[in-house]
Amino acid sequence: MTILDRIIERKREEVASARGQSDLREQRSRCRDAEPVRGFAAALSVRAETGTAIIAEVKKGSPSKGVIREDFDPLAIAAAYERGGAACLSVLTDRDFFHGELAYLEQIRRQVALPLLRKDFIIDRYQLYQSRAAGADAVLLIAAALEPAQLEDFAAEAAELELDVLLEVHDEAELAKSAGAAVPMIGINNRDLKTFHTDLAVSERLLPLLPRDCLPVAESGLHCRDDIERLLRAGARAFLVGESLMREADPAVKLYELLGTNGGTHV
């Protein structure tokens, strides 16, 4: 089994357990009481017009790297990202493989004003309602983890919940299988979720193939301003960055570097 296969198998068990504790009817009720969404895709688009749009990720670890940040304080990290100039935040909520918690999403929403992406492996419509109830403004749909019909159905249901969708692809086949899904953003993951090998050339190859009406987002393997500039030239308009920020003592300082700013002032 690949790492992705193992994650999906565990996610099925996790969703079944969550349904047993709080069924879909209860999640729907919580969605009705949820705060208005903050407009994730709109915030990225606006920032991309005037500067560099970065989705900064709150991420303790990963299957390939293990624990990335020992002194992990999700609220302090989120505040640092907001201070450092992030356009939006991505919050890892997968527990078993990425050391995340769904509760982080709710806690961070109370702490910062930025739009939030729930970063997880969505394999069941239940998770869409769960995400909206927990305070997400957007969700990730991973083409490698879903069938074409699921991608279309989940994208449509997310839109009904006013959740923006970041649809993630890694190659031409995944881009083709997701063609029927109506989404505002397409992310190109430079990391292969089956091998966890990372290569920025993946974005350079796929960016010209994306639909013109979707905001193109480059994900993974972004470590310095030169990497950002390289993919800006290739056509990326927003960037999802996690590991390189999480390894810094002060993530805000690293964020200034990636944005091409010095304490908020463009250089």
Q: Which listed residue (57, 82, 152, 174) is catalytic? A: 57
Q: Which listed residue (11, 14, 59, 254) is catalytic? A: 59
What's the rounded Cα separation, in Å, for the pair 184 and 190?
Answer: 20
What is the identity of the amino acid at 145?
A: A
Q: Which residues contact 130 (CB under 8 A, 6 or more apart)?
A: 18, 27, 102
What's the rounded Cα separation, in Å, for the pair 216 and 185?
Answer: 6
User: Is 219 among the residues known to form the active site?
Assistant: yes
Positive/negative CA dihedral, 200, 183, 87, 95: negative
Q: Which listed residue (90, 178, 190, 220) is catalytic? A: 220
User: Is 59 among the residues known to form the active site?
Assistant: yes
Q: Which listed residue (14, 152, 168, 174) is catalytic? A: 168
Look-up of token digits 């979720």: 193
Q: Which listed residue (11, 60, 119, 254) is catalytic? A: 119
Q: What are the E-state strand segments in 16-70?
A: 53-58, 61-62, 66-67
What is the identity of the amino acid at 171?
A: D
Class of residue 26 by CB neighbours under 10 A (exposed 0-12, middle 13-18, buried 19+): middle
User: Is 168 among the residues known to form the active site?
Assistant: yes
User: Is 177 among the residues known to form the active site?
Assistant: no
For the chain, the distance separating the N- and C-terminal CA atoms, rounded to the nearest angstrom, is 47
Q: Which listed residue (62, 178, 189, 190) is catalytic? A: 189
User: Is 65 among the residues known to form the active site?
Assistant: no
What's the rounded Cα separation, in Å, for the pair 218 and 200?
Answer: 9
User: Is 60 among the residues known to form the active site?
Assistant: no
User: Is 160 among the residues known to form the active site?
Assistant: no
Positive/negative CA dihedral, 102, 107, 109, 112: negative
User: What amino acid positions are annotated as catalytic residues?
Assistant: 57, 59, 119, 168, 189, 219-220
